[in-house]
Structure 1
Amino acid sequence: MKQLLVAIVEDDNEYSSFLEKCLSRYGSEKGFIFNTQIFNKAETFLDNYKKAFDIVFMDVDLGKGFLNGMDAARKLRNIDDTVILFFVTNMPQFAPEGYSVNALDYCLKPIIYSNLSVKIDKAIKLLSNRSGQPVKIKEKEGTRIVSSNDIMYIDVMGHDLMFHTVDGVIDSYGGLSERENELSGCNFARCSASALVNLSYVTGLYGDEIAVGGDRIKIGRSKKKAFMEQLNMYLGGGYK
């Protein structure tokens, strides 16, 4: 059984317990073990935070006098760009703001297990796609090896090939088409003549632009149809 580490940041003990039970039920049904840690305050959660959690459930309203969930999520993203984040709230009007911190989804109170199960399915799919493959990136000083899962997108700048990773930008060289072939089985898609995107990091679609890792990338007219087909297939029809 695969084990996943989950943080529940929630000041309501009943909801913390309920979420924990839901995760236990899901694990029994799907063959996972969820090791949960519960935090009553965002400050406690963020103190000495390490990139160890797979999933974080963050309550938006953590009570007066404490850091609220949205502000805590912004601080979390300064530390960890990749942990899967769910907001827990009874205020759906916060949903648009959540995409600014790359929240995967919202869990609206009162939580219903069948709805939550579908959301966890999405998280599990995303995590399974992060197993990755090693990618060699040539730099002036030598060769860097990174996981394909840690590459958000690759774009061309002049004669350079820029690898935008979760740990920063790596300046390299070579052909983008060559990298596209190399990463063909890793959920990468060409959105323009000069950009190759990891679909697992796409967090929004805005006209002819997509949001990836906090950046906006233009979708080329000639690539749009094929790119949207790949994105829809990856997300199961999530974008139209």
Structure 2
Amino acid sequence: MKIALVDDERIYLDEMQKLCLEFAAQHTIQPEIFRFSSSEDFLKSWQPGFYSIIFLDIFMKNGNGIETAQKLREGNDNSLLVFLTSSSDFMPDAFSCHAFDYILKPITRSRVFQVLLDAQKLLPGNSRYIEVNSNRQNIPVFLSDIQSAATDAHYLDIHLKDGSLVRTRMTASEFLKLTGEDCRFLVINKGLILNMDYIFNMENNSCIMTDGSRFPLRIRKAKELALTFRQYQFSQLRQEQKNKGWNT
């Protein structure tokens, strides 16, 4: 997750960076944080779509946050915009730029965490990871890289998109808890978990993956599982359309 912090007061840059890093550590997110003390400095290095979320101060000595946001939208930037402000009077102008949210100063931990949590639900999950112990080593595994996970006695075999396998001592329920009950992971049979981002279709009580592999569905829950998959597909499509709509 690439986060831009744009504020002309160092105290707020420091506080926002600290809170973003704290949130990332608690939610197994690998962040990249970029700090800017003015809109001018930010725009010099800005590229459309580079940042996942941009925290932008409205009132700055050398640049207006609203005008900066308008330039981003004119440049077809779909990044989530969160305004930092000491007053809510400018919110109508802020939301005309399709702002995602705003945070009133002085900022609080609970407010920043809530905004980041809401943003996390909208952003692609490519930056989220878990740490598992394999061969006496703690290995970071990105959730987006996991295709499937299957139990084998007291172990869990985690299959990654590059064809590699990570074997760890863990139950299926422990794995799901570690992912934060991430909605992309679906238990299709006893001890068998699939990442729905890699499911191509479900038919004839089988789950067909994008690489052509097949897994058996629990027969009694085949219809329920197929419905869950369709709902997930729809939610992902709707989210993609919503994200594209930030600049319309």
> Residue 82 of structure 2 aligns to a residue in which SS?
strand
Match of 2:60 among 49, 62, 65: 62
- Listed as ranges, the matches of 1:25-44 within 5 Å are 25-44=22-41
**Structure 1: 4+ residue segments shifted above 4 A:** 199-203, 212-215
Deviation at 1:214, TM superposition (A): 5.7
Q: Cα gap change, 1:48/1:26 in structure 2, threshold over 3 Å: closer, same or farther?
A: closer
Q: Cα gap change, 1:98/1:202 in structure 2, threshold over 3 Å: closer, same or farther?
A: farther
Please name the residue that 1:18 is paired with: 15
Please name the residue that 2:44 is paired with: 47
- Listed as ranges, the matches of 1:67-82 within 5 Å are 67-82=63-78
Structure 2's unaligned 5+ residue stretches are 127-143, 145-229
Deviation at 1:199, TM superposition (A): 5.2
Q: Which amino acid aligns with 1:24?
A: L
> Residue 233 of structure 2 aligns to a residue in which SS?
coil
Q: Distance in 2 between matches of 1:24 and 1:184?
A: 29
CA deviation string 1:7-33 (max 9, x = no partner): 101000010000000001101111112
Please name the residue that 1:185 is paired with: 233
Q: Cα gap change, 1:201/1:116 in structure 2, threshold over 3 Å: closer, same or farther?
A: farther
> Residue 32 of structure 1 aligns to a residue in which SS?
coil
Q: Distance in 2 between matches of 1:213 and 1:14?
A: 30
Q: Which amino acid aligns with 2:77?
A: D
Deviation at 1:109, TM superposition (A): 0.5
Please name the residue that 1:8 is paired with: 5
Answer yes or no: is the 8 Å Cα contact 1:42–1:68 preserved in 2.
Answer: yes
Please name the residue that 1:107 is paired with: 103
Which structure: greater helix fraction? 2
Q: Which moved more, 1:68-77 or 1:122-131?
A: 122-131
Q: Distance in 1 between matches of 2:125 and 2:28?
A: 17
Answer yes or no: is the 8 Å Cα contact 1:129–1:186 preserved in 2.
Answer: no
Deviation at 1:48, TM superposition (A): 4.0
Q: Cα gap change, 1:27/1:93 in structure 2, threshold over 3 Å: closer, same or farther?
A: same
Q: Cα gap change, 1:127/1:78 in structure 2, threshold over 3 Å: closer, same or farther?
A: same
Answer yes or no: is the 8 Å Cα contact 1:88–1:106 preserved in 2.
Answer: yes
Q: Which amino acid aligns with 1:113?
A: R
Identical-pair percentage: 26
Q: Distance in 2 between matches of 1:109 and 1:201?
A: 32
- Listed as ranges, the matches of 1:39-188 within 5 Å are 39-50=36-47, 51-63=49-61, 66-128=62-124, 185-187=233-235
Q: Which amino acid aligns with 1:9?
A: V
Q: Distance in 2 between matches of 1:81 and 1:183?
A: 28
Greater RCO, 1 or 2 (C-alpha within 8 Å, sep 6+) = 2
Answer yes or no: is the 8 Å Cα contact 1:201–1:213 preserved in 2.
Answer: no
Deviation at 1:94, TM superposition (A): 1.3
- The two structures have a TM-score, normalised by structure 1, of 0.54
Q: Which amino acid aligns with 2:54?
A: V
Q: Cα gap change, 1:109/1:213 in structure 2, threshold over 3 Å: closer, same or farther?
A: closer
> Residue 44 of structure 1 aligns to a residue in which SS?
helix
**C-alpha RMSD of matched pairs (Å):** 2.7
Q: Distance in 2 between matches of 1:29 and 1:111?
A: 19
